[in-house]
Each structure stands twice: as structure tokens, then as C-alpha cells.
Amino acid sequence: MKKLIGPIRQVLTLDQLPQKGALRDEQLEIFTQAGILMDREYIQKVGAWAELKQEFPEAEIHELDGDYVALPGLVDCHTHLCFGGSRARDFALRNAGKTYLEIAAAGGGIWDTVTQTRSLDQATLAGITAKHANRLFSEGVTTIEVKSGYGLSVAEELKMLRAIKQASPDTAADLISTCLAAHLCPKDWKGSPSAYLREIADQLFPVLLAENLCTRIDAFVEKSAFSPEQITPYLERAKHLGFDLTLHADQFSTGGSAVAVGLGARSADHLETSGESEILALATSNTVAVALPGASIGLGMAFTPARKLLDQGASVAIASDWNPGSAPMGDLLAQASILATFEKLSTAEVLAGITFRAAAALGLSDRGKLTHGQLADFILFPTSDYREILYQQGKMKPERVWKRGMIVQCTKY
């Protein structure tokens, strides 16, 4: 059944924008006084409201009263929504001047979240994940990547990934699972880091495939986690089995992005310490560079060099990194707006980074633009000027959210 929604003051299709490189706002395709025609789950046509009504008289009409700007549904391509507990103590200690190692020695850090997550059963974790996903969905995020990584054993990682799968029916958002069993070498592991990785690959990977729990493998390449030499055989094995790869890379030291580019990973995420050689390598590859401004805000450190990456020709996506430790805010629009201010990103670059370029980081080509054949995932903001959305730095939220051709969220702010 066809549905037609409008009139919409501005529809930003993001169509015809390239996957890589810098963008100017003048490149944005903007339809005014427009309509969006849907055929079941997909967009059939975007055009002038009056013309679409005349051309498709059989369509079910959804007429809007007021001014709206339409964007594609947002894509958050890096989150850790499935977790137990809080790390508010870590945040306070960090702001008081304690170092990461001091906080970890006092019982904080990632291992604190591992302990709290392990204490919860699968159903509880599924409920937490759905709750977090639904908050993001209400803010216009219609596709959400969700990582494991707070289990750090075969059994506990399976519990997390099964919880993410169990949460899917309880949210309208599409949840894209990623296995991050290589978050760090667990404290209770008695062998070497390489032996831990071999056990995960031997015992966990086959179950992931058999139960269809995920198609993506992530790893933290860092001095406090796994070295490039340790992680490469693990990732090569994952790739051989057909998994897509993504990496936590260049957050505190370089080396991870080179592994990502060398193995043809979908994305390299963080990149706060990437230098000229890393930027050039990413720009000349098909690996998407994912900026995580929430982690920079949470840790008080430099932002991903998004401006340099774009100017060199890279594809740059932006994600929230919502996690209980370094990025507890979980507000994609607010973080993207702040990154734009510090890195001098155009509105077009930001919108591309939280829609179709973020979708590319997940290997998805059916969303992120409002054009024929794309999923009918779109959001309506209560404004007549698209520039207001980033100008208000996350305070303006979408009033209506459409997912796969159905209106799911309708909230007055």
C-alpha cells in the first residue's frame, strides 16, 4: 500500500552526495513544500507535494499541519548499549585528576563494568538494551550498532549477544550486533592474550555463526588491550570465516588503523591520535573513519581529526560510543554538533556522517538517503530551516519518526 506524507517544508534527501571526502552545504539536495511517497517499507519518490498528490491519487494521505524538515533516519554505528551498572565514580575521579591506571587500581575501569554485566542474567540485559535503544530511537536513531565486550569469556559473551538478539523485538530500531570479545584480556584469564584470542576464535566464532548472533567482529588495538601482532591472526581468522571487521583504533596510541586498513575492515573507530600517515592511509582506503566525540568529551581528550580526514578524501562517520565509562551521554545529535564546532565540519558533512556514511560503516546500502529504493526510515524536525537542527546542538529532537514506512514515534517537545 502506498502512503504519501506532506507537505514538508524541506526534505533533505542526501542523494548524490559521495561516500568519501569533504562536502559543501551547497551540494545538499533540498526539496521544498515536498512529499515523501512510500510503497510498503520503501521510498518510491520524493517530490513536490501537489504533484505527488495528483500523480498518485490512490496513496493513503498523511497530511502534516505545521513546518517540518525531513532527514533520513539517523544511524549510530558504534555503541555499547548492553551493559550493567554505572561508572559515575570513575567520571568523578577522572575529573578530580586521577589517571586511568589509578582508577583501575581502585576497582574502576572496564573491568568494573565486566563484573557488573556478568552479574546480570540474559533477560535483564535484554531489557536494559531495549530501554537504551528506545531512547535513541525517540531521538531519531533508526539503526543502532550494539557491541558485546563486557563479558570477556565464551559463556558471558554469548549471554550478551543473545541478550542483544532478544532485545530486538522490543525496539523499533534495527539492532546490528557486533562481537567485541577482544575488548581486553580478562583479569581472570590465566594464560597469554594470544591464548585467550585463540579460545574465543575456536569456541565462540562457530556459535556466533550457528545461532546467527552477529556478522561483525571488533577488537581494541591498544597498549592496554591487544597489540597489532596479537590481534592480526584473530582478525584474519574472523575474516576467513566471513565476518566483517571493525576496530577500536588509534585512541591512545597509533597502530590500530594500520591493521584495519591492511585487513580491509569496514571501519576504524576512535582515531583521536591518528597522525598524517594514518590519515593518508585511511583516506586512500575503503575503510570508514568513525569519529566518537562522546569519548573525547567524556575523557577530556582531543577529537578525531575529522577535518583533516575529510580534506584528504576519507569517508568520515560519527557515532555516539554510548558506554558506561568514557561516553555516557549517548546523544548522537549533540555530540555531532559539538564535533562540528571544534573540527569545522559543514552541515552536509555532519548529516552524511550520521546517515549514509555511518550505514556504510555497517555494510548497509539500503538506508541513509531519501531516494527511490531506500528504506522508508525518516525523521521530522519541527522547524522550517534544516540549519536549526545542529545550531541547537542536540536540544531539538525529531517530533515524528518513521521506520520502514510506519510512523512509530510522535512526540511533542
Checking if the pLDDT of 99 tops 90, the result is: no
- pLDDT tens, residue by residue, 163-192: 999 999 999 999 999 999 999 999 999 999
H or E element at residue 175: strand 174-182
Q: In this structure, are 233 and 163 located in the same domain?
A: yes
- pLDDT tens, residue by residue, 263-293: 999 999 999 999 999 999 999 999 999 999 9
Q: In this structure, are 278 and 203 located in the same domain?
A: yes
- Average pLDDT on 149-166 reads 98
Q: Cα Rg for the chain, rounded, in angstroms?
A: 21
Contact criterion met (CB below 8 Å) for 159 and 151:
yes
Measured distance CA(245)–CA(266) in Å, rounded: 6
Q: In this structure, are 205 and 261 located in the same domain?
A: yes
Which has the higher per-residue pLDDT, 1 or 165? 165
- pLDDT tens, residue by residue, 296-330: 999 999 999 999 999 999 999 999 999 999 999 99
Q: In this structure, are 194 and 328 located in the same domain?
A: yes
Contact criterion met (CB below 8 Å) for 100 and 141:
no
Q: In this structure, are 380 and 341 located in the same domain?
A: no
Contact criterion met (CB below 8 Å) for 258 and 284:
no
Contact criterion met (CB below 8 Å) for 304 and 360:
no
Contact criterion met (CB below 8 Å) for 350 and 343:
no
Mean model confidence pLDDT for the chain: 97
Q: What is the pLDDT of residue 128?
A: 98
Measured distance CA(127)–CA(139) in Å, rounded: 19
Q: In this structure, are 228 and 81 located in the same domain?
A: yes
Q: In this structure, are 116 and 189 located in the same domain?
A: yes
* Residue 380 cell numbers, joined: 521530522
- Domain extent, residue 125, equals 75-361
Q: In this structure, are 337 and 247 located in the same domain?
A: yes
Q: What is the pLDDT of residue 410?
A: 66
- Report the domain count for the chain: 2
Q: In this structure, are 149 and 162 located in the same domain?
A: yes
Q: What is the pLDDT of residue 376?
A: 98
Q: In this structure, are 311 and 325 located in the same domain?
A: yes
- Average pLDDT on 218-236 reads 97
Residue 58 CB-density burial (10 A; 0-12 exposed, 13-18 middle, 19+ buried)? exposed
Measured distance CA(249)–CA(287) in Å, rounded: 12
Q: What is the pLDDT of residue 257?
A: 98
Domain boundary residue among 321, 340, 361? 361
* pLDDT-based confidence at residue 336 (cuts at 50, 70, 90): very high
Checking if the pLDDT of 52 tops 70, the result is: yes
**CATH code of the domain covering residue 23:** 2.30.40.10
Question: At residue 317, what are phi and psi to the nearest 5 degrees?
Answer: -105, 165
Contact criterion met (CB below 8 Å) for 112 and 84:
no
The length of the chain, given as a count of residues: 413
The model's pTM: 0.98
Share of the chain above pLDDT 70, in %: 99
**92-101, 217-226, 302-311, 388-397: least confident range:** 92-101
Q: What is the pLDDT of residue 413?
A: 37
3-state secondary structure of 364: coil
**CATH code of the domain covering residue 159:** 3.20.20.140
Q: In this structure, are 345 and 384 located in the same domain?
A: no
Measured distance CA(244)–CA(387) in Å, rounded: 35
Domain boundary residue among 361, 383, 401? 361
DSSP-H helix ranges across 313-384: 332-343, 347-353, 356-361
Q: In this structure, are 268 and 190 located in the same domain?
A: yes
Q: What is the pLDDT of residue 411?
A: 60
Q: What is the pLDDT of residue 400?
A: 96
- Average pLDDT on 342-346 reads 98
- pLDDT tens, residue by residue, 107-127: 899 999 999 999 999 999 999
